[in-house]
Amino acid sequence: MNFTNFGKYILLLKAAFRRPEKTKIYLKAIFQQMDFIGIGSLGLISIISTFIGAVMTLQIAFQLVSDLIPKTIIGSVNRDSSILELSPTISAIVLAGKIGSAISSEIGTMRVTEQIDALEIMGINAPGYLILPKILAGITMVPVLVIISMVLSIGGGYLGGTLSGAVSAAEYMQGITTDFNPYTIVVALVKAFVFGFIITSVPAYEGFYVKGGALEVAQASTRAVVVSCISILACDYIVTQLLL
Amino acid sequence: MIEIKDIHKSFGDNEVLKGISGTFKEGVTNLIIGGSGSGKTTLLKCMIGLHQPEEGSVLYDGREFTQLNFEERIEIRKEIGMLFQGSALFDSMTVEENIMFPLNMFTEQTREEKLDRVNFCLERVNLEGKNKLYPAELSGGMKKRVGIARAIAMNPKYLFCDEPNSGLDPKTSIVIDELIKELTEEYNTTTIVVTHDMNSVMGIGDYIIFLHEGKKFWEGSNKEISKTDIEELNDFVFASRFMKAAKGKL
């Protein structure tokens, strides 16, 4: 995203946050988007988080070759890695692929089939009607998904560790409850909030300014996912630097 | 009535409109015609605010439109109905929801009142009972008619139609043309149709502007169009075999 695009992105966001024409209709759209982003992604996030947690436990156990390090550390490392990095970032990248491409292609198709022009002719603020509900749903539901992901990732670690015998249930439970710092949850939720904004606003921008036809819509979807992923990783670093 | 004065529009170095002026009256079907690339769709988009002209003005019953910002334009836009070339129906909504959409956004009517209006509009375009169908389940002609129903839902003072016959068979084209003309006369709307279809020109062209290379070359009615000696206009009007054959009889 060069500076011109960044300027257009900011102007689009400014237009999206104008006062809605009718709050009731926007609220309905927000709930629809919350259902799409939240409930629609729950299965995928659950599966990914559980397996990542399980694999994490096995890999940490594999690297703990010294008898001087207690096995309870497996639970602690898994907990902190899941909360601080894996759940927010991996979830966000997966959601950027799933939701980002859907948002970009939906809005892009509306652009090339003149549906956005139709909204504007009617006197409706198209960025507000199309983008604002998605952003509000994103910054609400991505943190919820991240919390679910954290729980499932830690739970997956328990299952992976105990089923494989890499760590006992008691050691793992002791590990995840020792020296827990609740501030890590705050950091993760700040990340989730930022990622939720990126996952919805960047693809919306890419779709909104599509010119051409089906090929350009597909290219915009690809670009939306790539730019979202890079933005997520960059913001991940910035938030971590600022808050830890 | 809509007046356009000295409209100029360029895209980069390409000057598409080179000072177009004209007056479109209410209660008659006004046509903007011309070959591909003549600037007719660009002119239409300048008139409805989808493009911003570099120079010139558009007046809706004396109200200057081009200099208004988005919020100020809303009041005029509520009086505009538009039929798009591809109909531009919202894919995720049924026919009923499409027509009800502007009513939901801008009126405080009850659901029953809105439903009555939807059914009236559907009846007006001969699509009674098609409320629950999605755009994907409609034929091209039906989509156009739903597009017209949505355009008239708010009782517009100004009706714009961009290539209403594109992609339609000749019989359906005539149905759409006649519908546009009937609605124009019935509701006394200022109707502007962009087209290059000579059937439409001869059928409903009460007032016609002919554009060529971004300039207005001719204006008049469908009764006068075949009697001019403007070479560019005659090339356009008599391009089809049918019109060539009918030339002496018009």
Flag if A117 and B70 touch (Cβ within 8 Å): no
Q: What integer is the mean pLDDT of A52-63?
A: 95
Which residues on chain B are in Cβ contact (under 8 Å) with A115?
Answer: 88-91
Q: What is the ipTM of this complex?
A: 0.88
Q: Which residues of chain B have pLDDT under 70?
A: 247-250
Residue A35 lies in a domain: yes
Which of A15, A114, A125 is nearest residue B84 as measured by Cβ atoms?
Answer: A114
Dihedral angle over CA of B46, B48, B51, B56, nearest 10: 40
The pLDDT of residue B197 is 87
The pLDDT of residue B27 is 93
Query: Minimal Cα–Cα distance from B48 to chain A, Å?
Result: 7
The pLDDT of residue B230 is 84
Which residue is closest to B108 within chain A, CA to CA?
A22
Would you say the C-alpha torsion A175, A180, A185, A187 has a positive or negative sign? negative
Residue A16 lies in a domain: no
Flag if B89 and A121 touch (Cβ within 8 Å): no
Which residues on chain B are in Cβ contact (under 8 Å) with A25?
Answer: 104-105
Residue A8 lies in a domain: no
Confidence of residue A75 (pLDDT cuts 50, 70, 90): very high
Q: Checking DSSP bridges between strand B29-34 and strand B190-195, what pairing results, if any?
A: parallel
Q: What integer is the mean pLDDT of A239-243?
A: 96
SS3 of B52-83: the string is CCCEEEEEECCEECCCCCHHHHHHHHCCEEEE
Say what percent of chain A tops pLDDT 90: 94
Dihedral angle over CA of A98, A104, A110, A111, nearest 10: -170
**Overall domain count for chain A:** 1
Residue A206 lies in a domain: yes
The pLDDT of residue B167 is 81
Query: Minimal Cα–Cα distance from B218 to chain A, Å?
Result: 28
Flag if A121 and B50 touch (Cβ within 8 Å): yes
In which domain, by residue range, is A44 found? 22-243
**Interface residues from chain A to B (CB-CB < 8 Å):** 15, 21-22, 25, 109-110, 113-115, 117-118, 120-125
For chain B, the farthest-separated pair of C-alpha atoms sits apart, in whole angstroms, at: 57
Flag if A121 and B70 touch (Cβ within 8 Å): no
Element (H, E) at B161: strand B158-162
Flag if B106 and A125 touch (Cβ within 8 Å): no
Asked whether B7 and B42 are in contact (CB, 8 A), the reply is no
Q: Which of B68, B82, B152 to mutate to test the interface with A (most CBs of A within 10 A)?
A: B82
Flag if A114 and B86 touch (Cβ within 8 Å): yes
Q: What integer is the mean pLDDT of A171-199?
A: 96
Confidence of residue A151 (pLDDT cuts 50, 70, 90): very high
Polymer length in residues for chain B: 250
Closest to B6 measured CA to CA, from B76, B48, B41, B54: B54
The pLDDT of residue B248 is 62
Confidence of residue A226 (pLDDT cuts 50, 70, 90): very high
Flag if B90 and A25 touch (Cβ within 8 Å): no
Query: Minimal Cα–Cα distance from B243 to chain A, Å?
Result: 32
The pLDDT of residue B247 is 67
The pLDDT of residue A42 is 97
Residue A53 lies in a domain: yes
**Chains A & B: contacts with CB separation below 8 Å:** 55
Angle between helices A40-63 and A126-164 (to 10 degrees): 40
Closest to B192 measured CA to CA, from B108, B117, B83: B83
Q: What integer is the mean pLDDT of A166-193?
A: 95
Which pair of tokens denotes residue B154? Answer: 């708010």
Which residues on chain A are in Cβ contact (under 8 Å) with B110?
Answer: none
Flag if A123 and B82 touch (Cβ within 8 Å): no
Sheet holding B55-60, edge to edge: B14-24, B2-11, B55-60, B63-64
Which pair of tokens denotes residue B220? Answer: 């008049």
Query: Minimal Cα–Cα distance from A118 to chain B, Å?
Result: 7
- Which amino acid would we find at residue A202? V
The pLDDT of residue B196 is 87
Which residues on chain B are in Cβ contact (under 8 Å) with A113?
Answer: 86, 88, 91
The pLDDT of residue A2 is 79
Q: What integer is the mean pLDDT of A96-114?
A: 97
Which of A25, A114, A125 is nearest residue B104 as measured by Cβ atoms?
Answer: A25
